[in-house]
Amino acid sequence: MNWDRTLSLIPDGVQTMSKMPNKYVDGVYPKYISHGKGSKVYSDGKEFIDYTCGLGAIVLGHANEDVNQAVFSQARKGTLFGLPHESETLLAEKLVEHFPMDKVRFVKTGSEATSAAVKIARAYTNKETILCCGYHGWHEWYNQTTPKNKGCSKSKVYPFNYNDIASLRALFRRHKDVAAVIMEPYVYDAPKENFLDEVRRTCDQNKALLIFDEVVTGFRTNKWCAANEFRVKPDLMCIGKAMGNGYPIGAVGGSAKIMDVLKHKDRTYKVIFVICMNAGRIDPVDITLINNFCGIIGVEYSVIINRVSKKLMDFDSRTMITKFTDKNPTNILHLEMNFNVFDEDNVMLENGDIIKEFINAQKSFPIVTSNIGK
């Protein structure tokens, strides 16, 4: 492959700055890697020892058989569903067992994990300012603090220096609305003079959260992570692709009371009925049965008719509608019903059975399909 060809199509020829060939010795290091196995990577028939470990995420070696087999096995069963998969719970249990966290939210990348942690911290504290130390990804909340900040919206994010507790305390004196300190617990240097303990103490004194970005250090440090190794417990922790040996996955976890800001307090559910029109008519029984359905599960609701022509019409769902004029007599209507649950436990536990029983009991209801979800 010609490098100029790549440059003509992809800015800088790479998807992340860390992979730019100009970071290595031109003419000695390859421009491309075709494949890898174990500790080795290959380019143009040459074998190299991958000391970069795939930018740090390949902790079990390239093309690890056990990891790949697990991924391939699930891929054959499907990869994207409208409800949770049991493996999410199993993985969350493993993380809670080995990392200082009570609850977990999974994401796709380390950058997304740090962004989620910042959002959680701001929501929990109702404060805005973030103090940071280290590299936290390319999302704009952090990228605004770097030289590549063009195009980033500005928010209150300020960096401090590692192993320099005075620089952190100076920022706390300057900013009274600090939501959180986010930092890599170590990268090149070990913490000196109880630096991490002092950061923890300073956060507590100022009622700010402490977030450890362990995208790099997680799974690659003694006792699973730097928080365990140095015995400093953060409020939130971010981990990345090392969890999947390079596959796109990440997570943010922390104490239950902080993570619970992600819970939905007001649950709104939606039922979609897809109904075939005949000769431009909606049978009055259709609307009557929708009323009956919502009566069964105890909800108030509104209905929007969404035609194939993409036009929308609002109407009172309790009114009998006998005719709907349309040039296409075989149009399909999507009746989207958004409602707040009165008896939340009933709907959460039994909604599928309720829908099935209702449809089976009303054979005259011309439903093609139905769906319920948040």
Taking Cα atoms as reference points, which of 370, 341, 343 lies closest to residue 358? 370
- Asked whether 30 and 44 are in contact (CB, 8 A), the reply is yes
Contacts of 344 (CB under 8 A, 6+ apart): 267
Contacts of 25 (CB under 8 A, 6+ apart): none
Alpha-carbon distance 215 to 238, whole Å? 6
- List the pLDDT tens digit at each of the 374 positions of the chain: 889 999 999 998 998 888 888 788 877 889 999 999 999 999 999 999 999 899 889 999 999 999 999 999 999 999 988 889 999 999 999 999 999 999 999 999 999 999 999 999 999 999 999 999 999 988 888 888 888 888 888 889 999 999 999 999 999 999 999 999 999 999 888 999 999 999 999 999 999 999 999 999 999 999 999 999 999 999 999 999 999 999 999 999 999 999 999 987 654 444 444 444 444 444 444 555 555 555 544 444 444 333 332 232 333 333 323 233 333 333 333 344 433 333 333 333 233 443 444 334 333 333 333 333 33
Domains and CATH numbers, the chain: 17-83 (no CATH), 85-262 (3.40.640.10), 268-373 (3.30.70)
Q: Half-sphere exposure of residue 170, counting CA atoms within 13 Å on the CB side?
A: 8
* Unique residue bearing structure tokens 């999302």: 139
Taking Cα atoms as reference points, which of 141, 118, 121, 113 lies closest to residue 242? 113
Alpha-carbon distance 114 to 347, whole Å? 34
Alpha-carbon distance 335 to 371, whole Å? 11
Contacts of 189 (CB under 8 A, 6+ apart): 162, 163
What pLDDT score does 201 carry? 98
Residues labelled catalytic: 135, 213, 241
- Asked whether 200 and 192 are in contact (CB, 8 A), the reply is no
Taking Cα atoms as reference points, which of 194, 185, 252 lies closest to residue 220? 185
pTM beyond 0.75: the answer is no
